[in-house]
Structure 1
Amino acid sequence: MMGTDSEVFFGQFQTVPLSECQPDFSGQPYSVSVLKVGYCLSQTDGTYRADGTITLITGPRIILVDTGGPWNRDFLLMTLKERGLEPGDINFVVGTHGHSDHVGNLSLFPTAVMIVGYDISEGDTYRLNKLAEGHAYSIDEHVSVVPSPGHSGQDVSVQVKGTSAGTVLVAGDLFECCSDEDSWRDLSMNPAVQEVSRHEALRTADVIIPGHGLPFRVLRN
Protein backbone atom coordinates (compact mmCIF):
# COMPACT_ATOMS: atom_id res chain seq x y z
CA MET A 1 0.00 0.00 0.00
CA MET A 2 2.98 2.31 -0.39
CA GLY A 3 2.68 5.07 -2.98
CA THR A 4 4.32 4.98 -6.39
CA ASP A 5 6.03 7.83 -8.21
CA SER A 6 3.04 8.29 -10.51
CA GLU A 7 0.32 10.88 -10.30
CA VAL A 8 -3.02 9.78 -8.87
CA PHE A 9 -6.44 11.25 -9.54
CA PHE A 10 -9.29 11.46 -7.00
CA GLY A 11 -12.13 12.93 -9.02
CA GLN A 12 -11.19 16.53 -9.80
CA PHE A 13 -8.14 16.34 -7.54
CA GLN A 14 -4.69 15.26 -8.69
CA THR A 15 -2.08 14.09 -6.17
CA VAL A 16 1.67 13.87 -6.64
CA PRO A 17 3.94 12.03 -4.16
CA LEU A 18 6.90 13.98 -2.83
CA SER A 19 10.44 12.70 -2.58
CA GLU A 20 11.89 11.15 0.57
CA CYS A 21 14.35 14.03 0.37
CA GLN A 22 11.51 16.49 1.01
CA PRO A 23 10.22 15.55 4.48
CA ASP A 24 10.37 19.11 5.87
CA PHE A 25 8.09 22.05 5.18
CA SER A 26 9.45 25.27 6.64
CA GLY A 27 7.21 28.19 7.46
CA GLN A 28 6.27 31.08 9.70
CA PRO A 29 5.41 30.70 12.43
CA TYR A 30 5.26 26.89 12.10
CA SER A 31 7.34 24.30 10.28
CA VAL A 32 6.40 20.66 9.71
CA SER A 33 8.89 17.79 9.67
CA VAL A 34 8.25 14.11 9.01
CA LEU A 35 10.41 12.25 11.51
CA LYS A 36 9.49 8.81 10.19
CA VAL A 37 7.56 7.80 7.09
CA GLY A 38 4.97 5.16 7.90
CA TYR A 39 4.61 1.94 5.92
CA CYS A 40 2.24 -0.96 5.41
CA LEU A 41 3.68 -4.08 3.80
CA SER A 42 1.81 -7.28 2.98
CA GLN A 43 3.58 -10.50 3.97
CA THR A 44 3.45 -13.87 2.21
CA ASP A 45 1.70 -15.52 5.16
CA GLY A 46 -1.26 -13.15 4.93
CA THR A 47 -0.14 -10.83 7.74
CA TYR A 48 1.23 -7.36 7.19
CA ARG A 49 3.88 -5.17 8.79
CA ALA A 50 2.83 -1.62 9.54
CA ASP A 51 3.97 1.48 11.36
CA GLY A 52 2.49 4.95 11.44
CA THR A 53 4.07 8.16 10.23
CA ILE A 54 5.54 10.36 12.99
CA THR A 55 5.41 14.13 12.41
CA LEU A 56 6.81 17.07 14.37
CA ILE A 57 5.39 20.60 14.16
CA THR A 58 7.64 23.34 15.53
CA GLY A 59 6.89 26.99 16.23
CA PRO A 60 5.29 28.86 19.13
CA ARG A 61 4.06 25.42 20.27
CA ILE A 62 5.89 22.12 19.81
CA ILE A 63 3.43 19.51 18.57
CA LEU A 64 4.04 15.82 17.94
CA VAL A 65 1.50 14.08 15.71
CA ASP A 66 1.40 10.30 16.22
CA THR A 67 4.17 8.56 18.12
CA GLY A 68 4.52 5.33 16.15
CA GLY A 69 4.36 1.94 17.81
CA PRO A 70 6.07 1.12 21.11
CA TRP A 71 8.95 -0.43 19.14
CA ASN A 72 9.81 3.16 18.08
CA ARG A 73 10.57 4.34 21.61
CA ASP A 74 14.35 4.65 21.29
CA PHE A 75 14.14 5.98 17.73
CA LEU A 76 11.69 8.68 18.77
CA LEU A 77 13.71 9.83 21.77
CA MET A 78 16.93 9.86 19.72
CA THR A 79 15.34 11.77 16.82
CA LEU A 80 13.89 14.41 19.12
CA LYS A 81 17.25 14.77 20.87
CA GLU A 82 18.95 15.31 17.52
CA ARG A 83 16.62 18.28 17.09
CA GLY A 84 17.47 19.62 20.54
CA LEU A 85 14.23 18.43 22.14
CA GLU A 86 13.45 16.43 25.25
CA PRO A 87 10.02 14.88 25.97
CA GLY A 88 9.22 17.72 28.37
CA ASP A 89 9.61 20.24 25.55
CA ILE A 90 6.60 18.83 23.69
CA ASN A 91 3.50 20.96 24.35
CA PHE A 92 0.91 18.86 22.51
CA VAL A 93 0.81 15.22 21.45
CA VAL A 94 -1.89 14.36 18.94
CA GLY A 95 -2.89 10.76 18.27
CA THR A 96 -4.84 10.82 15.03
CA HIS A 97 -6.63 7.65 16.20
CA GLY A 98 -6.17 4.95 18.78
CA HIS A 99 -4.40 2.20 16.82
CA SER A 100 -1.18 0.92 18.38
CA ASP A 101 1.07 1.92 15.49
CA HIS A 102 0.05 5.55 16.02
CA VAL A 103 -0.15 5.99 19.81
CA GLY A 104 2.36 3.48 21.14
CA ASN A 105 4.55 6.03 22.94
CA LEU A 106 2.14 8.41 24.62
CA SER A 107 3.66 7.63 28.02
CA LEU A 108 6.90 9.37 27.02
CA PHE A 109 5.13 12.75 27.21
CA PRO A 110 3.34 13.02 30.58
CA THR A 111 3.49 16.83 30.69
CA ALA A 112 2.03 17.41 27.21
CA VAL A 113 -1.58 18.14 26.42
CA MET A 114 -2.88 14.91 24.89
CA ILE A 115 -5.33 14.92 22.00
CA VAL A 116 -6.26 11.37 21.09
CA GLY A 117 -9.23 11.12 18.81
CA TYR A 118 -11.89 13.35 20.32
CA ASP A 119 -10.41 13.35 23.85
CA ILE A 120 -8.31 16.30 25.00
CA SER A 121 -6.58 15.94 28.36
CA GLU A 122 -3.87 17.48 30.49
CA GLY A 123 -2.86 14.95 33.10
CA ASP A 124 -6.10 13.47 34.36
CA THR A 125 -8.12 16.59 33.48
CA TYR A 126 -10.19 16.34 30.31
CA ARG A 127 -11.05 19.51 28.40
CA LEU A 128 -14.44 20.15 26.88
CA ASN A 129 -14.38 20.37 23.10
CA LYS A 130 -16.66 20.04 20.08
CA LEU A 131 -14.66 17.64 17.91
CA ALA A 132 -17.43 15.04 18.14
CA GLU A 133 -19.84 17.68 16.80
CA GLY A 134 -17.67 18.27 13.75
CA HIS A 135 -15.90 21.42 14.98
CA ALA A 136 -12.16 21.95 14.88
CA TYR A 137 -10.09 22.49 18.02
CA SER A 138 -7.73 25.43 17.53
CA ILE A 139 -4.31 25.27 19.14
CA ASP A 140 -3.81 28.78 17.78
CA GLU A 141 -4.69 30.71 14.63
CA HIS A 142 -2.24 28.66 12.56
CA VAL A 143 -2.73 25.09 13.85
CA SER A 144 -6.02 23.27 14.26
CA VAL A 145 -7.06 19.72 15.08
CA VAL A 146 -9.91 18.81 12.77
CA PRO A 147 -12.27 15.83 12.96
CA SER A 148 -11.77 13.49 10.00
CA PRO A 149 -13.69 10.32 10.90
CA GLY A 150 -14.16 7.13 8.94
CA HIS A 151 -11.06 4.99 9.34
CA SER A 152 -12.04 4.64 12.98
CA GLY A 153 -14.83 6.27 14.95
CA GLN A 154 -12.85 9.28 16.18
CA ASP A 155 -10.12 10.17 13.69
CA VAL A 156 -8.56 13.63 13.70
CA SER A 157 -6.07 15.39 11.45
CA VAL A 158 -3.83 18.37 12.18
CA GLN A 159 -3.99 21.35 9.83
CA VAL A 160 -1.00 23.71 9.69
CA LYS A 161 -1.31 26.96 7.73
CA GLY A 162 1.46 29.17 6.41
CA THR A 163 4.21 26.70 5.49
CA SER A 164 6.40 27.04 2.41
CA ALA A 165 4.16 24.43 0.78
CA GLY A 166 0.92 26.13 1.81
CA THR A 167 -1.54 24.36 4.10
CA VAL A 168 -0.22 21.01 5.35
CA LEU A 169 -2.59 18.37 6.71
CA VAL A 170 -1.16 15.63 8.91
CA ALA A 171 -3.91 13.15 8.17
CA GLY A 172 -3.22 9.88 9.98
CA ASP A 173 -4.98 7.02 8.24
CA LEU A 174 -7.51 9.21 6.51
CA PHE A 175 -5.13 8.43 3.64
CA GLU A 176 -2.97 5.30 3.75
CA CYS A 177 -0.66 6.76 1.11
CA CYS A 178 -0.80 8.79 -2.09
CA SER A 179 -1.88 5.83 -4.23
CA ASP A 180 -4.25 4.09 -1.85
CA GLU A 181 -7.08 4.42 -4.42
CA ASP A 182 -9.76 2.03 -3.11
CA SER A 183 -7.52 -0.05 -0.80
CA TRP A 184 -8.30 2.28 2.10
CA ARG A 185 -11.88 1.01 2.10
CA ASP A 186 -10.81 -2.43 3.34
CA LEU A 187 -9.34 -0.78 6.45
CA SER A 188 -12.19 1.65 7.05
CA MET A 189 -14.78 1.39 9.81
CA ASN A 190 -17.13 3.61 7.81
CA PRO A 191 -16.09 4.11 4.16
CA ALA A 192 -18.96 6.49 3.36
CA VAL A 193 -17.99 8.83 6.20
CA GLN A 194 -14.30 8.52 5.41
CA GLU A 195 -14.91 9.39 1.77
CA VAL A 196 -16.49 12.68 2.87
CA SER A 197 -13.52 13.38 5.16
CA ARG A 198 -11.07 12.59 2.35
CA HIS A 199 -12.85 14.93 -0.05
CA GLU A 200 -12.71 17.76 2.48
CA ALA A 201 -8.99 17.16 2.99
CA LEU A 202 -8.32 17.22 -0.75
CA ARG A 203 -10.37 20.42 -1.04
CA THR A 204 -8.51 22.34 1.66
CA ALA A 205 -4.91 21.01 1.90
CA ASP A 206 -1.96 21.73 -0.37
CA VAL A 207 0.13 18.88 1.06
CA ILE A 208 -1.17 15.79 2.86
CA ILE A 209 0.98 13.65 5.15
CA PRO A 210 -0.66 10.19 5.15
CA GLY A 211 -0.45 7.50 7.80
CA HIS A 212 1.59 4.97 5.82
CA GLY A 213 3.49 6.66 3.03
CA LEU A 214 5.30 9.72 1.75
CA PRO A 215 3.72 13.18 1.84
CA PHE A 216 1.93 14.16 -1.34
CA ARG A 217 0.91 17.40 -3.00
CA VAL A 218 -2.69 18.12 -3.97
CA LEU A 219 -3.30 19.87 -7.29
CA ARG A 220 -6.71 21.35 -7.95
CA ASN A 221 -7.95 22.14 -11.44
Structure 2
Amino acid sequence: MKPNIETQLKVLFEGYSKFVDGKYLANCSCVLIKSTPNIVIDTLTSWDDEKLLSALKEENISCDDIDYVVCTHGHSDHVGCNHLFKKAVHIVGFSISHKDCYFTEPDFHSGEEFVINRKVKVIPTPGHTLQDVSVVVDTDNGVVAVTGDLFEKFEDLEDAGIWKSAGSDSEELQEINRRKILKLADFIVPGHGPMFKVPQHFKEAD
Protein backbone atom coordinates (compact mmCIF):
# COMPACT_ATOMS: atom_id res chain seq x y z
CA MET A 1 0.00 0.00 0.00
CA LYS A 2 1.33 3.43 -0.93
CA PRO A 3 1.73 5.82 2.03
CA ASN A 4 -0.89 8.54 2.34
CA ILE A 5 0.31 11.97 1.21
CA GLU A 6 -0.95 14.65 3.55
CA THR A 7 -2.03 17.63 1.44
CA GLN A 8 -3.20 20.94 2.87
CA LEU A 9 -4.35 23.74 0.56
CA LYS A 10 -4.39 27.30 1.90
CA VAL A 11 -5.42 30.39 -0.03
CA LEU A 12 -2.87 32.89 1.24
CA PHE A 13 -4.43 35.81 -0.63
CA GLU A 14 -7.73 36.11 -2.47
CA GLY A 15 -7.38 37.77 -5.84
CA TYR A 16 -9.34 40.86 -6.80
CA SER A 17 -10.05 43.12 -9.76
CA LYS A 18 -11.98 46.34 -9.41
CA PHE A 19 -12.22 49.98 -10.43
CA VAL A 20 -11.45 52.49 -7.69
CA ASP A 21 -11.53 56.24 -8.36
CA GLY A 22 -11.23 55.63 -12.07
CA LYS A 23 -8.26 53.29 -11.69
CA TYR A 24 -8.26 49.56 -12.41
CA LEU A 25 -6.74 47.60 -9.52
CA ALA A 26 -5.95 43.88 -9.70
CA ASN A 27 -3.89 41.21 -8.03
CA CYS A 28 -4.05 37.45 -8.26
CA SER A 29 -5.04 34.71 -5.85
CA CYS A 30 -2.00 33.12 -4.21
CA VAL A 31 -2.18 29.55 -2.93
CA LEU A 32 0.08 27.41 -0.74
CA ILE A 33 -0.03 23.64 -0.91
CA LYS A 34 1.66 21.99 2.05
CA SER A 35 2.53 18.53 0.87
CA THR A 36 5.42 16.39 -0.24
CA PRO A 37 6.58 18.49 -2.08
CA ASN A 38 5.49 22.02 -1.02
CA ILE A 39 4.03 24.26 -3.74
CA VAL A 40 3.19 27.94 -4.20
CA ILE A 41 0.76 28.86 -6.97
CA ASP A 42 0.86 32.39 -8.45
CA THR A 43 3.20 34.78 -6.63
CA LEU A 44 1.43 38.15 -6.81
CA THR A 45 3.12 41.31 -8.14
CA SER A 46 6.74 42.39 -7.84
CA TRP A 47 5.74 44.78 -5.03
CA ASP A 48 4.41 42.02 -2.77
CA ASP A 49 7.59 40.42 -1.42
CA GLU A 50 7.07 41.38 2.20
CA LYS A 51 3.43 40.37 2.44
CA LEU A 52 4.11 37.00 0.79
CA LEU A 53 7.09 36.35 3.07
CA SER A 54 4.97 37.25 6.08
CA ALA A 55 2.15 34.92 5.01
CA LEU A 56 4.57 32.03 4.54
CA LYS A 57 6.12 32.69 7.93
CA GLU A 58 2.67 32.40 9.53
CA GLU A 59 2.46 28.93 7.95
CA ASN A 60 5.94 28.04 9.29
CA ILE A 61 7.23 27.78 5.73
CA SER A 62 10.36 29.44 4.34
CA CYS A 63 11.10 30.16 0.70
CA ASP A 64 13.69 27.39 0.70
CA ASP A 65 10.97 24.93 1.78
CA ILE A 66 9.09 25.48 -1.49
CA ASP A 67 9.83 22.79 -4.07
CA TYR A 68 7.60 24.02 -6.92
CA VAL A 69 6.38 27.44 -7.96
CA VAL A 70 3.50 27.20 -10.43
CA CYS A 71 2.31 30.30 -12.26
CA THR A 72 -0.92 29.69 -14.11
CA HIS A 73 0.27 32.09 -16.81
CA GLY A 74 2.95 34.70 -17.34
CA HIS A 75 1.13 37.96 -16.63
CA SER A 76 2.91 40.29 -14.24
CA ASP A 77 0.39 39.99 -11.39
CA HIS A 78 0.97 36.21 -11.26
CA VAL A 79 4.78 35.94 -11.41
CA GLY A 80 6.08 38.94 -9.47
CA CYS A 81 7.71 37.15 -6.52
CA ASN A 82 9.07 34.10 -8.30
CA HIS A 83 12.59 35.31 -7.53
CA LEU A 84 12.10 34.53 -3.83
CA PHE A 85 12.09 30.80 -4.48
CA LYS A 86 15.66 29.98 -5.50
CA LYS A 87 15.50 26.23 -4.83
CA ALA A 88 12.18 25.53 -6.51
CA VAL A 89 11.35 24.20 -9.94
CA HIS A 90 9.39 26.96 -11.69
CA ILE A 91 6.41 26.17 -13.91
CA VAL A 92 5.25 29.33 -15.69
CA GLY A 93 2.49 28.46 -18.11
CA PHE A 94 3.89 25.74 -20.36
CA SER A 95 7.52 26.51 -19.41
CA ILE A 96 9.22 24.33 -16.77
CA SER A 97 12.69 25.26 -15.54
CA HIS A 98 15.19 25.22 -12.70
CA LYS A 99 17.87 27.90 -12.92
CA ASP A 100 19.00 27.78 -16.57
CA CYS A 101 17.82 24.22 -17.19
CA TYR A 102 14.57 23.83 -19.12
CA PHE A 103 12.54 20.63 -19.10
CA THR A 104 11.20 19.22 -22.35
CA GLU A 105 8.62 16.96 -20.71
CA PRO A 106 5.74 16.89 -20.29
CA ASP A 107 4.51 18.41 -23.56
CA PHE A 108 1.68 20.66 -22.39
CA HIS A 109 1.08 21.63 -26.04
CA SER A 110 -0.01 18.03 -26.69
CA GLY A 111 -2.27 17.94 -23.64
CA GLU A 112 0.11 16.06 -21.36
CA GLU A 113 -0.09 16.60 -17.60
CA PHE A 114 2.70 17.22 -15.08
CA VAL A 115 2.13 14.95 -12.09
CA ILE A 116 3.74 16.37 -8.95
CA ASN A 117 2.44 13.60 -6.68
CA ARG A 118 -0.60 11.34 -6.42
CA LYS A 119 -2.75 14.24 -5.25
CA VAL A 120 -1.43 17.19 -7.23
CA LYS A 121 -1.05 17.65 -10.98
CA VAL A 122 -0.63 20.54 -13.40
CA ILE A 123 -2.78 20.41 -16.53
CA PRO A 124 -2.87 22.61 -19.65
CA THR A 125 -5.95 24.85 -19.77
CA PRO A 126 -5.25 27.44 -22.49
CA GLY A 127 -7.66 30.23 -23.29
CA HIS A 128 -6.93 33.36 -21.28
CA THR A 129 -3.44 32.91 -22.70
CA LEU A 130 -2.47 30.11 -25.03
CA GLN A 131 -0.14 28.67 -22.37
CA ASP A 132 -2.40 28.73 -19.30
CA VAL A 133 -2.19 25.86 -16.82
CA SER A 134 -4.31 24.88 -13.82
CA VAL A 135 -3.31 22.98 -10.69
CA VAL A 136 -5.69 20.19 -9.68
CA VAL A 137 -5.49 19.09 -6.05
CA ASP A 138 -7.22 16.09 -4.47
CA THR A 139 -8.01 17.20 -0.90
CA ASP A 140 -9.98 15.61 1.93
CA ASN A 141 -12.84 17.98 1.11
CA GLY A 142 -12.91 17.31 -2.63
CA VAL A 143 -11.05 18.26 -5.78
CA VAL A 144 -9.82 21.86 -5.89
CA ALA A 145 -8.70 23.47 -9.16
CA VAL A 146 -6.47 26.54 -8.95
CA THR A 147 -7.10 28.04 -12.36
CA GLY A 148 -5.66 31.52 -12.57
CA ASP A 149 -7.64 33.64 -15.01
CA LEU A 150 -9.38 30.76 -16.75
CA PHE A 151 -12.03 31.88 -14.25
CA GLU A 152 -11.90 35.50 -13.08
CA LYS A 153 -14.36 35.07 -10.22
CA PHE A 154 -17.54 33.21 -9.29
CA GLU A 155 -19.75 35.78 -11.02
CA ASP A 156 -18.35 34.92 -14.44
CA LEU A 157 -20.13 31.57 -14.34
CA GLU A 158 -23.31 33.44 -15.24
CA ASP A 159 -21.80 36.53 -16.90
CA ALA A 160 -19.32 35.54 -19.60
CA GLY A 161 -18.63 39.20 -20.23
CA ILE A 162 -16.51 39.26 -17.06
CA TRP A 163 -13.91 36.74 -18.21
CA LYS A 164 -14.04 37.89 -21.82
CA SER A 165 -13.44 41.52 -20.86
CA ALA A 166 -10.38 40.43 -18.84
CA GLY A 167 -8.81 39.30 -22.10
CA SER A 168 -8.80 35.96 -23.85
CA ASP A 169 -6.32 34.80 -26.47
CA SER A 170 -8.85 32.16 -27.50
CA GLU A 171 -12.42 32.39 -26.27
CA GLU A 172 -13.13 29.03 -27.91
CA LEU A 173 -10.36 27.25 -25.99
CA GLN A 174 -11.27 29.06 -22.80
CA GLU A 175 -14.87 27.90 -23.08
CA ILE A 176 -13.72 24.30 -23.61
CA ASN A 177 -11.33 24.33 -20.67
CA ARG A 178 -13.78 26.11 -18.39
CA ARG A 179 -16.29 23.32 -19.02
CA LYS A 180 -13.56 20.72 -18.41
CA ILE A 181 -12.66 22.21 -15.04
CA LEU A 182 -16.30 22.65 -13.99
CA LYS A 183 -16.87 18.92 -14.46
CA LEU A 184 -13.57 17.94 -12.84
CA ALA A 185 -13.50 20.14 -9.74
CA ASP A 186 -15.63 20.49 -6.64
CA PHE A 187 -14.08 23.87 -5.80
CA ILE A 188 -12.30 26.50 -7.91
CA VAL A 189 -9.78 29.12 -6.85
CA PRO A 190 -10.19 31.74 -9.60
CA GLY A 191 -7.62 34.32 -10.58
CA HIS A 192 -9.34 37.35 -9.10
CA GLY A 193 -11.90 36.29 -6.50
CA PRO A 194 -12.56 34.00 -3.54
CA MET A 195 -12.58 30.21 -3.83
CA PHE A 196 -16.06 28.92 -4.68
CA LYS A 197 -17.94 25.63 -4.80
CA VAL A 198 -18.93 24.52 -8.30
CA PRO A 199 -22.74 24.52 -8.58
CA GLN A 200 -24.02 21.04 -9.35
CA HIS A 201 -25.88 22.06 -12.51
CA PHE A 202 -22.57 23.07 -14.12
CA LYS A 203 -21.12 19.65 -13.38
CA GLU A 204 -24.11 17.97 -15.00
CA ALA A 205 -24.30 20.21 -18.09
CA ASP A 206 -23.52 18.70 -21.52
Query: What TM-score, normalized by structure 1, do the two folds share?
Result: 0.84
1:52 to 14, 20, 28: 28
Structure 2 CA distance, aligned partners of 1:99 and 1:36? 17
Show structure 2 runs of 5+ residues with no match.
202-206
Answer yes or no: is the 8 Å Cα contact 2:5–2:119 preserved in 1. Answer: no
- Give me the whole-angstrom Cα distance separating, in 2, the residues matched to 1:70 and 1:218: 31
> What amino acid is aligned across from residue 84 of structure 2 in structure 1?
L
CA contact (8 A) 1:96 1:102 kept: yes
Q: CA RMSD in A?
A: 1.3
Instruction: Give the equivalent residue in structure 1 for 2:197.
Output: 217
Shift of 1:211: 0.5
Which residue identity lines up with residue 135 of structure 2 in the other structure?
A: V
Identify the residue that residue 150 of structure 1 maps to in structure 2.
Answer: 127
| Higher relative contact order (CA closer than 8 Å, sequence separation 6+) | 1
1:35 aligns with 2:12: yes
Instruction: Supply the AA of the counterpart residue of 1:177.
Output: K
The question of whether the paired residues in 2 share the 8 Å contact of 1:165 and 1:207 is answered with no
Report the TM-score when normalising by structure 2. Answer: 0.90
Q: Provide the residue aligned with 1:3 in structure 2.
A: none
- Deviation sequence 1:98-139 (CA, Å, 0-9, x none): 011110011111110000000111111111121111111111
Q: Tell me the equivalent position of 1:130.
A: 107
TM superposition shift of 1:185 = 1.1
Letter in 2 for 1:173: D
* Aligned equivalent of 1:116, options 92, 96, 117: 92
Q: Distance in 1 between matches of 2:31 and 2:114?
A: 18
Alignment partners' CA distance in 2, 1:39 and 1:206: 21
1:181-200 equivalences under 5 Å are 181-182=159-160, 183-186=162-165, 187-200=167-180
Q: Which runs of 5+ in 1 are unaligned?
A: 1-26
What is the match of residue 146 of structure 2? 170
Question: 2:177 is aligned with what amino acid?
Answer: S
Count of aligned pairs between the two proteins:
193
- Separation of aligned partners in 2, 1:36 and 1:81: 14
Tell me, in whole angstroms, the C-alpha distance in 1 between the residues paired with 2:33 and 2:59: 12
Q: 2:5, 2:36 within 8 Å by CA — same for their partners in 1?
A: no
Aligned residue type for 2:109: A
Q: Tell me which stretches of 4 or more aligned residues in structure 1 moved more than 6 Å.
A: none
How far apart are the structure 2 equivalents of 1:66 and 1:164?
23
Letter in 2 for 1:30: T
